[in-house]
Amino acid sequence: MLEDSRPHLHAQRGIPAEPLDVGSREKRLHMRFDKAFLVVIGSELYGETTAIARNISAGGILVEMSYAPPLGTVVTVHFQHARGDDLMDEIVARAEVKHHHYLNFSGSGEAASSRAIGLRFLEFVDLGDPVSPERLH
């Protein structure tokens, strides 16, 4: 007879279940950089909007923004930095919307909310190279 390892069945048989140690295991593939900064999110359907990027890693990024494009939407993420000599440094990544996050919280007695999207990076675009129409969809 096969032994069932599900904790609730062990408890029914009077066998104590082993505690789960969820806190010690990190399931992320990439190390995160927990810093908030402005980015521009662009898509053909929704246009461009300024957003707040958080928790960036080699695999993706969490972006707080006023709307949430549908899951599976491919957007461009523009990381921009203005230099003192009126020049703009920019890195552009194509990313897919993988998650929606809706946050409700209160502070100073007033309710508030925020929305964010989890993006998975697909590729980084070299601004010197033309992008073919097939790659934009």
Q: What is the DSSP string of 19-66?
A: PP--TT----SS--B---EEEEEEETTTEEEEEEEESB-SSEEEEE-S
pLDDT of residue 26: 53
> Is the pLDDT score of 80 beyond 50?
yes
Paired sense of beta strands 37-43 and 110-125, if any: unpaired
Highest-pLDDT range among 7-16, 26-35, 67-76 = 67-76
> Residue 116: which residues within 8 A CB-CB, separation 6 or more?
54, 62, 63, 64, 65, 68, 100, 101, 103
- Give 12's pLDDT tier (boundaries 50, 70, 90): very low
Structural domains of the chain, ranges and CATH numbers in brackets: 27-126 (2.40.10.220)
pLDDT of residue 1: 43
> Is the pLDDT score of 3 beyond 50?
no
| pTM tops 0.75 | no
> Is the pLDDT score of 73 beyond 60?
yes
pLDDT of residue 25: 53
Work out the percent of the chain whose per-residue pLDDT is above 90. Answer: 34
